[in-house]
Copies of this chain bind each other. A is one copy, B any other.
Amino acid sequence: MSALEPVGPGFRLADVDPDATPGIDRAHAERELTDSADELSDLQERLYADAKVGGTRSVLLVLQGIDTAGKGGIIRHVVGLVDPQGVRITAFKAPTPQERAHDFLWRIRRALPEPGLIGVFDRSHYEDVLIHRVRGLSPLEVVEQRYGIIRDFEAGLVAGGTLVRKVMLQISRDEQRKRLQDRLDRPDKHWKFNPGDIDERLLWDDYQAAYQIALERTSTPDAPWYVVPADAKWYARWAVHRILLDALREIDLQWPPADFDVEHEKARLAAS
């Protein structure tokens, strides 16, 4: 299965090889990123421009994955290719007391991209059906209700003009060990390490099962999930870049027409 094919009926997470790089080799992947830089930039600017004249379109990219899966690297190296004025990034941590006092989508709604922007979620409302399921942070019947609530919520976003794409970065258990080891070996990476990461690692199979359920219940034609093999960082970057580029291509906006009299303004400028 290609990483650029959304999760559909019969999808099995266990069938995804985290070390695979389907469809492209490293040299071509890196060239594609360079070659499409102008197109990405142009499409993002059209999205931004459209909202200036009243357009309602936006993009929401949800990034999920276990600790060290590479969400931060994707934001730095893929989202970082886009004009930062057109991007809104939100990292969702353990909820604050204020956030916990509201329904689980409250903090999500407040972070949605305004028209014209590309919103990026580093973790998201999916934590409420992942860690909540694995660690029993909410009763199972509450978790069970959330899949439908999430589908409806995302359908509402799409109806409002937001193009929704969801990416799970899938690494292997062995690759995670290497990455955690690196954070422990290098003093300049100690700040990225959290002893809780190992606690979560011990629940590996439970998280995989929780992801399987979330993916199959919430991947819809309008708000699809993509599972991206992420042991090879260059591959994950290429794949997410393509998913973002294809999303902007799909929106296919034109430059907005002038809302002023161009010739009149040229004459005023000449006289100024």
Using a CB–CB cutoff of 8 Å, the interface residues on chain A facing chain B are: 49, 52-53, 72, 75-76, 79-80, 83-85, 87, 89, 91, 122, 177, 180-181, 184, 187-188, 190-195, 198, 201-202, 255-258, 260, 262, 265-266, 268-269, 272
Please list the 7 inter-chain residue pairs (A to B) with the smallest Cβ-Cβ separation, ordered nearest first: A190-B258, A49-B191, A76-B83, A188-B255, A191-B256, A198-B268, A195-B260
**A87 and B84: CB pair below 8 A?**
yes
Given the complex, which residues of B lie within 8 Å of A268, measured CB to CB?
195, 198
A268 and B53 alpha carbons, distance in the complex (Å): 56
Chain B residues within an 8 Å CB radius of A79: 84
Indicate if the CB atoms of B198 and A272 lie closer than 8 Å.
yes
Q: Are B262 and A190 in contact (CB under 8 A)?
A: yes
With A190-B262, A191-B49, A191-B53: A202-B84 Cβ-Cβ less than 8 Å: no
Separation in Å of the A152 CB from the closest CB of chain B? 30
Is there an interface contact between B255 and A184, defined as CB atoms closer than 8 Å? no
* A202 to B184 Cα, complex, angstroms: 61
Contact A190 B84 (CB under 8 A): no
Instruction: Determine how close the nearest CB of chain B comes to the CB of A92; give it in whole angstroms.
Output: 13
Query: Once the chains are docked, how many angstroms separate the CA of A190 from the CA of B266?
Result: 12
- Point out which of A122, A194, A256, A268 has the most chain B C-beta atoms below 10 A from its C-beta: A268
Are A83 and B85 touching (Cβ within 8 A)? no
Please determine whether A72 and B85 come into contact, CB atoms closer than 8 angstroms.
yes
Show 15 A/B contacts (Cβ-Cβ < 8 Å), sorted by A. A49-B191, A75-B83, A76-B83, A76-B84, A76-B85, A80-B84, A85-B89, A190-B262, A191-B255, A191-B256, A193-B260, A195-B268, A198-B265, A198-B269, A198-B272
Name the residue on B nearest A264 (C-beta): B195
Known: A177-B272, A181-B269, A191-B256; 18 extra A-B contacts, CB below 8 A, are A49-B191, A49-B192, A52-B191, A53-B191, A75-B83, A75-B84, A76-B84, A80-B83, A84-B84, A84-B89, A180-B269, A181-B266, A184-B265, A184-B269, A190-B255, A193-B258, A193-B265, A201-B272
